[in-house]
Amino acid sequence: MTARTPPPTLAPGHLAHLPSLDGLRGVAILLVLLHNFDVLDLGGARALGPVLVKEFLYIGWIGVQLFFVLSGYLITRGLLVTQTRPDYFERFFLKRVLRIFPLYYLALLVFLVLLPATGWVAQRSMQYSSLWLWTYLSNWTTPFEPTGGPLPHFWSLAVEEQFYLVWPLLLWKLRLRWVWRLCLGLTALAPLLRWGLVQQGLPDEALYEFTFSRMDALTAGAALAAWDQGRALHGATRWRAWHLQLLGLLLLMAAAVASHGFRRIGAVPQVVGYSLLALGFAAFTGWALLTDQARSRGASVSRWSAVLRWSVLRKFGQYSYAIYVFHKPLHDLVGEPLLARWTGHAHTAEAGTALLYFAAATAVTFALAWLSWQGFERHFMALKERLPSSFTASGTPGKPTRHAIRGTVTAAQRRNFKTPKAGLREALRGKPAPRR
């Protein structure tokens, strides 16, 4: 009978699940919805209130940056845990394929093939072949599409998939200190590459969507995972949750100043602002994970951390992938025609209608994502538990698992390790070992 590979062992102090990160993911997807469901028309109004609301809706694009940071952290965290296992690549790619591919390719089949074939929606013109979408490479062509293509928001999924393909290869058997250095180096390199693209005169959308242009968000999250792993293996550091919370606030303020209020495009906002935003979100992610770890020990935590544990927010985080996949096609194919029928304008509406539209579009998208998870996605996720492996964690049945990362032990572990020696010494002298 084939042995099943046991689950990976986490470093001391690690939690198998971090609820606050579900809340952060919920924040990220709500920001994206605010940006893409924005139909508010100021109508020439100059009042401070409406202008601030419009500005808040606009900056929802930063939700994608938060998604990248969270992906960098979570993916790297899992890779570091399984780093020396014989099924390192098998485990990672199997989990990614079962989580990402089914819904992604179902969406392509529906929106690129079935709906245009039935005549329910018109085939949107594309300057480049749809093959770029089918191969997770659309972020290299969408910036040059005059209309953005049929699924313009899939560029970020392409960036993440390319990261999933390359990152396990770079981290395989790489020592923790070199993982840390690699992350810091790539994080520092990204703004220099964006500056080079500016000098070459490439479109703003290319700086926004090219993979190496956004890698500092992914590697900032990865650096956080390496720091957290080292902290768990070597003992606590001087950093506390509130330190990271304060650092995150300061970095976001610096990003707002550098990008002139979180502008999405422009030389300075894209070269400097993106990096500051990534570092700020990495600090907030660190605050969230330290808060969860402190809560698990029964320690007191900030009241602000309770926000990330709100049930509704965590539900949005749980279904964020399907929400992201479906929200833009629903807006383009259903929402805009309805707005045109009700208001005479497909892209704008007065404040009351815009608010009602956002609430209705969000509710419908969430319901569709829930149905997608219950009826489709979770069945593929369950498959990974049924697929056996030919090896145990050590490669040989019956032998214990060696930890993924070698590091020094904590003071408590050293004390526990010395205890048997003391008892052995007393026994050799013919004395009973003292009670402890």
DSSP 62-106: HHHHHHHHHHHHHHHHHHHHTTT-TTHHHHHHHHHHHHHHHHHHH
On whether the CB atoms of residues 287 and 245 are closer than 8 A, the answer is yes
Distances (CA, A) of 22 to 154, 257, 317, 378, 403: 22, 29, 5, 17, 27
Query: Among 187, 158, 156, 192, which Cα is nearest to 281's?
Result: 187
Helix, strand or coil for residue 349?
A: strand
pLDDT in tens, the chain (436 residues): 444 444 444 554 566 788 999 999 999 999 999 999 999 998 777 778 888 999 999 999 999 999 999 999 999 999 999 998 899 999 999 999 999 999 999 999 999 999 999 887 777 778 888 999 999 999 999 999 988 888 999 999 999 999 999 999 999 999 999 999 999 999 999 999 999 999 999 999 999 999 999 999 999 999 999 999 988 777 666 778 889 999 999 999 999 999 999 999 999 999 999 999 999 999 999 999 999 988 888 877 888 889 999 999 999 999 999 999 999 999 999 999 999 999 888 888 899 999 999 999 999 999 999 999 999 999 999 887 775 553 333 333 333 333 333 334 444 443 443 433 443 344 334 444 443 3
Helix, strand or coil for residue 40?
A: strand
On whether the CB atoms of residues 198 and 271 are closer than 8 A, the answer is yes
Provide the residue ranges of all domains of the chain, joining segments of one domain with +. 19-405
Which ranges of 264-402 does DSSP label H, i.e. alpha helix?
267-268, 274-296, 311-318, 320-330, 336-343, 351-372, 378-383
On whether the CB atoms of residues 76 and 228 are closer than 8 A, the answer is no
Helix, strand or coil for residue 102?
A: helix
Query: Among 370, 304, 384, 318, which Cα is nearest to 91's?
Result: 384
Helix, strand or coil for residue 266?
A: coil
Which tokens hold the place of 165? 């393909």
Q: What is the largest CA-CA distance in the chain?
A: 97
Query: Among 89, 80, 85, which Cα is nearest to 407's?
Result: 80
Q: How far apart are CA 25 and CA 265, in angstroms?
A: 24
- Cα Rg of the chain (Å, integer): 25
Helix axes 320-330, 19-36, angle to 10 degrees: 10
Phi, psi for 344 (deg, rounded to 5): 85, 0
Judge if pTM exceeds 0.95: no
